[in-house]
């Protein structure tokens, strides 16, 4: 049996049976899943609610193209967590908690994308390099600090790299991200891949 929610989307009271059977695309095509909810599901990472890789690729190319056409600044901050010490010490559910916590922090700066298992990107249209550098410095201040996650105080480590248009003179969106990645790896080499979780 299906019931229509107040927001207009349809939900199943059969433990998600229809969703599992038809998939989100099937629910959408059969008019069971509201278009907005379908779009949210296909563009978001289910664990963290960050935008997913598909959304990242589309948004990156769209915003970089806009920056080139208009001359407006556009920055990217790439972030890589070192979760192995957390997972080894406390288990993967706590590692998932760290991912969710970091996502919340990143969203306070702008649109946040989960681009890999422990990897994120902030895409910042209209943000010049100096401001993006400040964002990255604030994000990196989480390193080694105790944060309360799922009721437990623990620390974790992350690395970050920044690249900006027009300051870094990237010719393509891929080149912008390549510059940011190089700076992230440089940060890792200088600071190590993370210390033990405490």
Contacts of 55 (CB under 8 A, 6+ apart): 43, 44, 113
pLDDT of the residue at 32: 54
Kindly give the parts of the chain with pLDDT less than 50: 1-22, 25, 27-30, 194-198
pLDDT of the residue at 20: 40
pLDDT of the residue at 35: 56
Q: Which two tokens stand for residue 59?
A: 């948004």
**pTM to 2 decimals?**
0.79
Secondary structure element (H or E) that encloses residue 93, with its range: helix 92-107
Q: Phi and psi at residue 167, in whole multiples of 5°?
A: -55, -40
CATH 3.30.70.270 is held by the domain 53-191: yes
pLDDT of the residue at 43: 85
Rama region for 49: left / alpha / beta (φ>0; ψ in -120 to 50; rest)? left
Locate the domains of the chain by residue range.
2-43, 53-191
């Amino acid at each position: 049996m299906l019931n229509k929610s107040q927001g207009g989307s349809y939900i199943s009271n059969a433990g998600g049976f229809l969703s599992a059977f038809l998939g989100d695309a099937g629910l959408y095509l059969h008019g069971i899943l509201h278009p907005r909810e379908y779009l949210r599901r296909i563009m978001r990472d289910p664990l963290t609610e960050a935008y997913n890789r598909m959304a990242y690729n589309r948004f990156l190319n769209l915003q970089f193209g806009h920056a080139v056409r208009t001359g407006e600044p556009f920055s990217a901050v790439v972030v890589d967590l070192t979760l192995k010490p957390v997972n080894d010490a406390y288990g993967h559910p706590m590692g998932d908690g760290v991912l969710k916590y970091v996502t919340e922090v990143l969203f306070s700066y702008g649109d946040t994308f989960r681009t890999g298992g422990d990897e994120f990107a902030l895409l910042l249209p209209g943000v010049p390099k100096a401001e993006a550098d400040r964002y990255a410095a604030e994000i990196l201040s989480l390193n080694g600090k105790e944060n309360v996650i799922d009721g437990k105080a623990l620390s974790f480590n992350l690395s970050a790299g920044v690249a900006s248009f027009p300051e870094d003179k990237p010719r393509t969106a891929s080149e912008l991200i390549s510059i940011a990645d190089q700076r992230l790896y440089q940060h890792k080499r200088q600071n190590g891949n993370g210390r033990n979780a405490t």
